[in-house]
Amino acid sequence: MGAADSNEPIPLLQLGLPSPPVDDDLVDSELPAKAAPNRTGNAWTAVAHIITGVIGSGVLSLAWSMAQLGWVWGPLLMLLFAAVTLASTFLLCSCYRSPDPDYGPVRNGSYLAAVKRNLGKKNAWICALLIQMNLYGTGIAYTITTAICMRAIRRSSCYRKDGEDDRCEFGSTQYMLIFGVVQIFMSQIPDFHSMEWLSVVAAIMSLAYSTIGLGLGAAKVVGSRVIKGSVGGVSASNTMQKLWRVSQAVGDIAFAYPYSMIVLEIQDTLRSPPSERETMNKASLISTCITTFFYLSCGGFGYAAFGDQTPGDLLTGFANYGSHWVIDFANACVVVHLIGGYQVYSQPVFAMVDKWLADRFPCSSFVNRNYTLKFPLLPPLSLNLERLCFRTAYVASTTGVAMVFPYFNQSAAPAMELLAKASAMPPILCQRDLDGAFLVRQQLRWDPSWAPLFSLWSEIALSQLRGW
């Protein structure tokens, strides 16, 4: 980004700075003392990163959430949480540069860097611990989900060949090991700046299985010529049971949208001009619209197709309708998407460890020396011994923990869901404080219209806790 005309000063929070600094002079608050990364991203690569991180296989369970809430509150809450997430993301994007959101000389290249700069070291340490727990738990959950999908593909093939008998029951350990080996290789991707291609592929797969889910639902509705469901949702035997299910549905929808922990990491990959904030806001708007469309479509068509009998996994509901190859393809798309999704949520952990080691061992060749490997017909691969050892151990640990849950009985999945959502709650509340700190830093006058944006996070927390 070139220097601006000196005749057109750009104030930085009324600090009197004459013009935005040139790009080479910017300070990266989360980088060790070495060359800054080559930022080549644009709005569409950011969209790919966001969709990979946000639209997970959980989109196929939103039909169940819609069934609990009914035809009125289900769509309304999806639109509400989309709007709140978008507004909060816009505020968070403004924390990337400091002190000015467009031309500030300091970059906050990660969520933790922004927390440290705006809320202090103490809050940063607490938030760091909770974020790493969430990211680690996400890696475990992705490993488990991948194994379930791979096992479902093999079971489907066995059913078509031998019929439904005991010989079609398979374990999941081998599939977890396969996923772990793949992730060991994928984890050698140096950083977020080098994985644009992986996010593009994963985003395409995410949109593919989401399209299959809504397509199967739409086909069933058109075929039966009946739109099932009701305004009040699935009935329950008593008020407490209804409250429990509604709270869980609200929590599932609420946590299907936020991606605050990776916003600044994605924004740090963008080139300028235009400013990173402008590009990221555009990408966030596009991604939220795409996400909301698929959430409403999958949830709506799934509920319309099954009514009160809507399953927790939309693909499972269509398994008995003769669409085996379509469901197998959708499960394969989920597997490919989770390969990319695992990296999206692991790269922030890798970046934090790489920075910590580089700061403390600046002269260590084990930490800082890169080796270039060249293969025929492939681009050169940059290999680092520290990355090789730590990232291999990290992947092995997530795979090992996932294997502890035997055969994925009914208690395993809720336990993993509880771990991930419990560790996600404090970072979300931390984002509320971070957004508030940005407003104060910008010297904006408080307006009552801001109150719902901040207070709603507490309501989300309470609704999810009731859902547990």
Closest CA to 420 of 112, 59, 140, 128: 140
Is the Cβ–Cβ distance between 103 and 20 less than 8 Å?
A: yes
Q: Using DSSP bridges, classify how beta strands 27-28 and 106-107 pair: parallel, antiparallel or unpaired.
A: parallel
DSSP state of 191: S
Give the model confidence (pLDDT) of 107-133 as tens digits: 887 777 777 777 777 777 877 787 888
pLDDT in tens, 230-242: 888 888 788 888 8
6 vs 147 pLDDT, higher one: 147
* Count of beta carbons in the 10 Å neighbourhood of residue 244: 16
What are the chain's domains? Answer: 23-467 (1.20.1740.10)
CB 233 within 8 A of CB 69: yes
CA gap 332, 25 in Å, rounded: 46
Q: Measured between alpha carbons, how far is 40 from 46 in angstroms, rounded to an integer?
A: 11
Its sign, for the CA torsion 409, 411, 412, 413, is positive
Q: Between residues 158 and 65, which one has the greater pLDDT?
A: 65
Other residues' Cβ atoms within 10 Å of the Cβ of residue 390: 18
Of 81, 109, 85, whose CA–CA distance to 95 is shortest? Answer: 109
Evaluate if residue 332 carries a pLDDT over 80: yes
Q: Which pLDDT score is estimated for 430?
A: 53
CB 201 within 8 A of CB 336: yes
Q: In sequence order, what are the residues at sequence separation of 6 or more whose Cβ sits closer than 8 angstroms to the Cβ of residue 188?
A: 381, 383, 387, 388, 391
Query: CA 199 → CA 183, 272, 286, distances in Å?
Result: 14, 21, 16
Over the stretch 374-399, which tens digit does the pLDDT of each residue have? 777 766 777 888 889 999 999 999 99
Distance CA 49, CA 193 (A): 11
> Where does the pLDDT of residue 6 fall: very low under 50, low under 70, confident under 90, or very high at 90 and above?
very low
* pLDDT over threshold 80, residue 166: no
For residue 410, the model assigns a pLDDT of 41
What interhelical angle do 276-306 and 43-54 show, nearest 10? Answer: 40
Task: Give the range among 99-108, 267-276, 316-325, 437-446 with minimum mean pLDDT.
Answer: 437-446
- Assigned token pair, 235: 């009935």
DSSP class of residue 164 equals S
Token pair of 433 as six digits: 């404080």
Please give the average per-residue pLDDT across 186-208, as a whole number.
Answer: 85
Beta strands (DSSP E) in 37-111 are: 97-98, 106-107
